Amino acid sequence: MQLNIEVNGKEIQARRDETILTALLRNGIRVPTLCSIKGLSPNGACRICVVEVEGKAGLVPSCSHPVEEGMKIKTHSPRVVKARRTILELLLSNHPDDCLYCERNENCELQDLAVELNIRERRISGKKSKHRLDLSSPGVVRDPAKCILCGRCIRICDEVQGVSTLEFVNRGSKTVVGTAMNRDLNFSSCISCGQCVMVCPTGALHERSNLDDVLDALNNPHQKVVVQYGPSVSVSLAEEFGIKAGKDINGVINAALRKIGFSYIFDTTFGADVAILESAMELKKRIETNQFLPMFSSCCPAWIKYAEQFKPEVLPLISTCKSPQQIMGTIIKSFFAPAEGINPNEIYSVAIMPCVAKKFEAQREEMTQKAISDVDAVITTRELARLIRLYGIDIHSIEPQQPDSPLGMRSSAGKLFGTSGGATEGIFRTLHYYMTGKEMQQPKIADLRSNGAIKEIELKIGNKKLTAILVSGMGNIRPLLDSVAAGEVKAHFIEVMACPGGCVNGGGQPFGSSEKDVKARAKSIYEIDEVETIKVAHKNPMVTDMYERFLEAPGSDLSKKYLHTRYTKRDVLM
Amino acid sequence: MRSRIESLLENYAHTKRDSLIPILQQIQDDLGYLSEEAVVLVGKHLDMPTSQIYGLATFYNQFRFEPKGKYHVQVCHGTACHVLGAQPILALLEKMLKIKDGQTSRDGQFSLQVMSCIGACAQAPAISINGKFYGKLTQERLKDIIDELKQH
Ligand code: SF4
Ligand code: SF4
Ligand code: FES
Ligand code: FES
């Protein structure tokens, strides 16, 4: 049903049951917002989105007010602009003045609003709120002094991720965003997915940066700094430099990393290929013995922590295979280094990831061999962009280069790990080969490629019918886990990625990307799969070579020792 | 303590989230405070994240999350007391006891709670210690009272 409304003297069409804000946005009229998040119910807390409606005494928040037939709206009348400015000035009145040093400098919605509303001086000055930085978590830093209490983080953590770590605590002028019993983040139920970081408009939540550690290592003449980057990084960095969203700049990244001074540049996709072989072998055995089914994927560390806290009953069902990042880390120090005659102690191993939880994963105690950690530092796609700027590298003018051998070689199956459904597709291609001895006639499994929050697919391998379930967005898993724990789910494989849409939408990706940008990244990954000659992990010659020289075969005792891990129940306040 | 909380929760067998506040009140009446264990058990009982229970509980002034001390000091911050100097009284208490509102001293001797009007307005500024009122307080008298209790 269409409605007619008048905005700033012009007739526009609106849909019944939509909010004023959505009608305005669809018609190209911009109104600032702070507390609202696209796709979630409005909460009307900040009131920066107010507009004037003829006949109504007060200004109305456009994000939560429904349109009505014949409404006459003014979006930028003097009264409206004045109200918005006052709201913003109040928010700024107790805000720390350290923009220059802030993680979000030039990437901050509060700064943008101050520019948009032409705030040029501090007219209202409030008592600065004093708060302790919460540096306890390896993934997420909380800086409550910069919090404007918009509540976005609380809602994404609760409504989308289903973790509910954050909540408003205390009241009135003492209100803060806190955790249960005011515990530090590391001792809370937080799974370090970083989705709250993605929606925070200010620097109140940001990733724990490891850039300085990496710089120190690069400047240390006694260290060989080896770097790997995750499958989705090459299709996500482009936006940071004004290149079209989703463009694959693999070669440029290799060249930039080499210029920066990394000794060896490897592609985590090699590790993903290895993960495919190990997982496919593991799944094949479980199907044959009809034990420990359904098998859950293990590539997402935020999901692993979620299971350890919320549903330890399913831990025996999770694949024991390490994640691609940790597999790479292990192979670099335990195979590559000795083969090259390098002492593993001299290697500093860096991973560039679309993810905040990978920082947490790298420091898990299971992820060390004889007191040497598999991976020494994890930086996000955003931190990579900073690193490139810091070294003055012009991304637009450098010539693409190849990664280093042997751990730079990849199949496109491993590349698929960057998007929801991709791990399953990669694993099933190899599982087909393991179970039938034959390749799939058509490796592309289109059914696995729609980005639903939760999806069940039937796949045929030989004369066997297998069921896979895809889940992305942590909040979508709870009912499924209950059914699995009750033994009611007959599926064979369940792929879980904590971030909605998978790693392409990870918590370490560029700020301010639209849904369209994220889709472009996934599309780009599938395009790579179209043109790549090696489409299955078991045909990656360097992977085969590595097994011959080091681990014998997927699922061997040596593989189990190096590439598999264990999970433990965690006691946190849930 | 666990079994006490559990048996208390049995009285609320089929209740939903709207009985959260009465449940918390009863636990506090019973145990004197809301322990971490209590918050977790209530969360399980109502199928509610502990962060939300804690958030709601801290919204109200009446809940505390540490056991009361041997001497539970309630400082009035109602209008009458405020006008007649509750702030310096509170400041002195915080300094002498080295604790803030809602906290309990390490040795378990003292706990502090800021109240809104304890019903002794004519005696403002007033405090109460373990239910006993002390009115028309001056800094000196307050110091004596606390020093005296510290002897015990
Ligand atoms: S990182 Fe994820 S789990 Fe942790 S507080 Fe943020 S949204 Fe919640
Ligand atoms: S931490 Fe950020 S997202 Fe959360 S309420 Fe504060 S400003 Fe909003
Ligand atoms: S954006 Fe509408 S009230 Fe905050
Ligand atoms: S205001 Fe303090 S007793 Fe009433």
User: Nearest by CB to B49, which of A169, A170, A574?
Assistant: A574
Model pLDDT, residue A130: 77
Q: What spacing in Å lies between the alpha carbon of A193 and ligand 1's midpoint?
A: 5
Residues A548 and A450 in one domain: yes
For the stretch A156-212, pLDDT in tens is 999 999 999 999 999 888 899 999 999 999 999 999 999 999 999 999 999 999 999
In this complex, which of B51, B59, B65 lies closest to A164 when CB atoms are compared?
Answer: B51
Q: Could you give the domains of chain B?
A: 2-59 (1.10.10), 71-151 (3.40.30.10)
Mean pLDDT (whole number) for A286-292: 96
Question: Mean pLDDT in chain B?
Answer: 90
The pair of structure tokens assigned to A205 is 């939540």
- Find out whether the beta carbon of A148 lies less than 6 Å from any atom of ligand 3: no
Same domain, yes or no: A50 and A116: no
Q: Contact, A190 vs A163, CB < 8 A?
A: yes
pLDDT of residue B15: 76
CATH value at residue A25: 3.10.20.740
Give the amino acid at A189.
Answer: S
Q: Is B51 within 8 Å of A165 when comparing Cβ atoms?
A: yes
Do the bridges between strand A493-497 and strand A295-296 make them parallel or antiparallel, or are there none, so unpaired?
A: parallel
The helix/strand/coil state of B111 is strand
Residues 53-72 of B with CB under 8 A from A: 53-55, 58-59, 65
> A224-229 and A167-169: which strand pairing?
unpaired
Residue A474 in this model has a pLDDT that exceeds 80:
yes
Do A394 and A357 sit in the same domain of this protein? yes
Cβ neighbour number for residue B121 with a 10 Å cutoff: 16
User: Looking at residue B102, what is its pLDDT?
Assistant: 86
CA of A48 to the centre of ligand 3 (A): 6
Residue count of chain A, please give it.
Answer: 574
CB contacts of A189 in chain B (<8 Å) are: 49-51
Choosing among B33, B37, B50, which should be mutated to test the A contact, i.e. which has the most A CBs within 10 A?
Answer: B50
- Nearest by CB to residue B52, choosing from A164, A170, A182, is A164
**For the CA of A175, the nearest ligand:** 2
Using CA atoms, how far apart are residues A136 and B114, in angstroms rounded to an integer?
30
Average per-residue pLDDT in chain A? Answer: 94
Q: CB neighbours of B73 closer than 8 A, spacing ≥ 6?
A: B93, B97, B110, B111, B112, B113, B127, B128, B129
What is the predicted pLDDT for the residue at B117?
87
Helix (H) or strand (E) holding A6: strand A2-7
- Whether residue A169 and residue B58 make contact (CB cut-off 8 A), yes or no, is yes
pTM, two decimal places: 0.91
Neighbours of A412 (CB within 10 A): 28
Nearest to B36 among A168, A170, A573 (CB): A573
Q: Out of A131, A134, A137, A150, give the residue to mutate to test ligand 2, the one with the largest number of ligand atoms within 8 Å of its CB.
A: A150
Classify residue A573: in a domain, yes or no.
no
Average pLDDT rounded to a whole number, residues B28-42? 91
Q: What confidence tens digit (pLDDT) does each residue in A376-389 have?
A: 999 999 999 999 99
How high is the pLDDT of residue B40? 93
Residue A307 has pLDDT above 90, yes or no: yes
Find how far residue A85's CA is from the centre of its chain.
Answer: 34
- CB-CB under 8 Å, B54 with A181: yes
If pLDDT is split at 50, 70 and 90, which confidence band does A446 have? confident
Tell me the pLDDT band of A369, cut-offs 50, 70 and 90: confident
Do B40 and A170 count as a contact with CB atoms less than 8 A apart?
no
Helices B36-46 and B2-10, packing angle to 10 deg: 30
Q: Between the CA atoms of A113, A114, A118 and A124, what dihedral angle is there, to the nearest 10 degrees? A: 130
Are residues A413 and A499 both part of a single domain? yes
- What does the pLDDT look like over B87-126, one tens digit per residue? 999 999 999 999 998 899 999 999 998 888 888 888 889 9
Tell me: pLDDT of A350 over 90: yes
What is the ipTM for the molecules in this complex? 0.88
Clarify whether residues A228 and A377 are in a common domain: yes
With H, G, I as helix, E, B as strand and everything else as coil, classify residue A93: helix
Q: Is residue A81 part of a domain?
A: no
- A190 and A236 co-located in one domain: no
Which residue type, as a one-letter code, is found at position A231? P
Distances (CA, A) of A430 to A276, A438, A455, A527: 7, 10, 21, 20
The stretch A320-346 carries a mean pLDDT of 96
- Shared-domain flag, residues A520 and A542: yes
Mutate to test the pocket of ligand 4, among B121, B127, B134 (most ligand atoms within 8 A of CB): B121
Q: Which of A205-209, A428-432, B135-139 is predicted least confidently?
A: B135-139
Structure tokens belonging to residue A164:
């509910």
CB atoms inside a 10 Å sphere around CB B135:
17
The tokens of A244 are what? 């079209």
Residue A494 lies in a domain: yes
Segments forming the whole domain that contains residue A104: 92-207
pLDDT > 90: percent of chain A = 89
Residue A96 and residue A34 share a domain: no
pLDDT of A288 over the 80 cut: yes
Residue type, A478: R
Chain A interface, best mutation among B35, B42, B51, by max A CB count within 10 A: B51
Residues of B in contact with A159 (CB under 8 A): none
User: Residue B18's pLDDT is what?
Assistant: 82
- Do A184 and A221 fall within a single domain? no
Give the closest ligand to the alpha carbon of residue A149: 2
What mean pLDDT comes out for the span A64-72? 94
Q: pLDDT exceeding 90 applies to what percent of chain B?
A: 61
Q: What is the pLDDT of residue A519?
A: 95
Please tell me if residue B133 touches chain A, with a CB cutoff of 8 Å.
Answer: no
Residue A207, beta-bridge partner list: A140
Kindly state the tokens that stand for B60: 């109200």
pLDDT band at A278 (very low <50, low <70, confident <90, very high): very high
- Residue A84, in any domain of the structure: no
- Within A222-323, strands assigned E span 224-229, 264-267, 295-296
Pair (A110, A60) in one structural domain: no
Helices of type H across A341-469: 357-362, 381-390, 412-415, 422-436
Count of domains for chain A: 3
- As a whole number of Å, the end-to-end CA separation of chain A is 44
State how far residue B121 is from chain A, nearest Cα, in angstroms: 25
- Coil, strand, or helix at residue A175? coil
A348 and A329 in contact (C-beta within 8 Å)?
A: no
Residue A16 is assigned to a structural domain of this protein: yes
* Assigned domain for A574 exists: no
Six-digit token string for B129: 């210690």
Task: State the Cα–Cα distance between residues A158 and A190, nearest whole angstrom.
Answer: 11
- The residue out of A25, A46, A76 marking a domain boundary is A76
pLDDT tier at A62 (50, 70, 90 boundaries)?
very high
Peptide bond into B125 cis (omega under 30): yes
The helix (H) or strand (E) run that includes residue A7 is strand A2-7
Q: pLDDT for A524-538, tens place per residue?
A: 999 999 999 999 999
Identify the three-state secondary structure at position A409. Answer: coil
Verify that A319 and A344 share a domain, yes or no: yes
CATH number of the domain encompassing residue A348: 3.40.50.1780
Least confident of A462-466, A541-545, B1-5: B1-5
Residues B4-27: pLDDT tens digits? 888 888 888 877 788 899 999 999
Please report residues of B whose CB lies closer than 8 A to that of A181.
36, 39, 50, 54, 65
Quick check: A431 pLDDT over 90? yes
Domain assignment present for residue A260? The answer is yes
CATH number at residue A176: 3.30.70.20
Contact A573 B53 (CB under 8 A): no
Beta sheet of A464-472, edge-to-edge order: A295-296, A493-497, A464-472, A454-461
The answer to whether residues A556 and A450 belong to one domain is: yes
Residues in contact with ligand 2 (CB, 6 Å cut-off): A 147-153, 177, 199-202, 204-205
